[in-house]
């Protein structure tokens, strides 16, 4: 499993090496029903003192029931990183790839895409009017913000993000047993990753992804999809109301 805050290129590399799908935040776009599972698990992890059922708390015993990981060959990115320790304990044969980047470069990218997007008033208003698709996604991310960042505003999240970043990496190093962790340096190419995973070096270039641009493009696509979702459900639920009202007026 790879534990990081933003690493789409690594996901692509792992899928090439492992020959199967790697669970990443982008999976939620195609599986919006997963958001409810993740939200419940995140809330249970951080808020058991608020009366949330302990049966929803993730541990090595119930992880298959509570997290919708299915037949994926690995996990990466949010929301899986919330459960780094649980996943490492649940899959004792799994290897952990820790990809660390310059914290200021990470912060700039994270701020421009994730933080600004999640605290955008427009985006959150759209989420309220689209409880079928964008709403569950935004709710899950805000559960993550409340739990992992202990933040209730954009300014608070910005102030804490660097410390959260450093703490996540410290935590992964602490909970990963010896021999199961690779600290991968960006730009190192295939060789260290292939040696660690016991895979031959592919005869293709290591994936390169402009993460900020890719995320911005994905956010815009998500907002368009949310708009279509709102229009579709308004048509589905609003048309019968209009027809019924028209019928009443016709017969009056």
**Per-residue pLDDT reduced to its tens digit, 17-66:** 999 999 988 888 888 888 998 998 899 888 865 544 445 566 666 676 66
Q: Which two tokens stand for residue 115?
A: 């933080």
Please report where in the chains the tokens 């070096």 appear, as a residue.
201
The helix-helix angle for 134-144 and 34-46 (nearest 10°) equals: 20
**H helices of 47-149, where?**
63-66, 84-90, 103-110, 116-118, 121-129, 134-144
Query: What share of the chain in percent tops pLDDT 90?
Result: 40
* pTM value surpassing 0.85: no
Predicted confidence band of residue 70 (pLDDT cuts 50, 70, 90): confident
How much is the average pLDDT of 190-202? 96
Looking at the predicted structure, is the pLDDT value of residue 3 above 50? no
Q: Are strands 74-75 and 2-3 parallel, antiparallel or unpaired?
A: unpaired
Place of tokens 């998500």: 222
Domains located in the chain, CATH noted: 2-103+133-210 (3.40.50.300)
Pairing relationship of beta strands 2-3 and 181-185 according to DSSP bridges: unpaired
Cβ–Cβ under 8 Å, residues 222 and 121: no
| Euclidean distance between CA atoms 144 and 38, whole angstroms | 9
With cut-offs at 50, 70 and 90, classify the pLDDT of residue 124: confident
Q: How far apart are CA 61 and CA 160, in angstroms?
A: 32
Strand ranges for 177-249 from DSSP E: 181-185
Residue 228 has what pLDDT?
67
Three-class secondary structure of residue 21 per DSSP: coil
């Amino acid at each position: 499993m790879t534990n990081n805050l933003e690493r789409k290129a690594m996901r692509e590399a792992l899928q090439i090496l492992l020959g199967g799908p790697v669970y990443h935040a982008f999976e939620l776009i195609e599986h919006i029903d997963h958001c409810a599972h993740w939200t419940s698990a995140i809330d249970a992890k951080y808020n058991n003192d608020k009366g949330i059922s302990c049966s929803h708390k993730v541990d090595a015993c119930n992880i298959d029931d509570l997290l919708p990981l299915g037949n994926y060959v690995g996990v990466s990115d949010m929301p899986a990183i919330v459960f780094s320790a649980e996943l490492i304990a649940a899959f004792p044969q799994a290897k952990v790839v820790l990809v660390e980047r310059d914290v200021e470069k990470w912060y700039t990218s994270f701020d421009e895409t994730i933080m600004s997007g999640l605290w955008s008033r427009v985006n959150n208003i759209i989420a309220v009017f689209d409880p079928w698709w964008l709403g569950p996604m935004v709710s899950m991310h805000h559960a993550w913000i409340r739990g992992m960042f202990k933040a209730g505003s954009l300014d608070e999240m910005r102030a804490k993000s660097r410390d959260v970043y450093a703490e996540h990496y410290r935590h992964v190093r602490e909970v990963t047993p010896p021999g199961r962790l690779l600290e991968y340096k960006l730009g190192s190419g295939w060789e260290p990753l292939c040696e660690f995973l016991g895979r031959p070096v592919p005869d293709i270039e290591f994936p390169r992804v402009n993460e900020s641009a890719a995320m911005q493009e994905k956010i815009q696509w998500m907002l368009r999809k949310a708009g279509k979702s709102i229009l579709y459900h308004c048509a589905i639920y609003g048309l019968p109301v209009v027809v019924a009202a028209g019928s009443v007026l016709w017969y009056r």
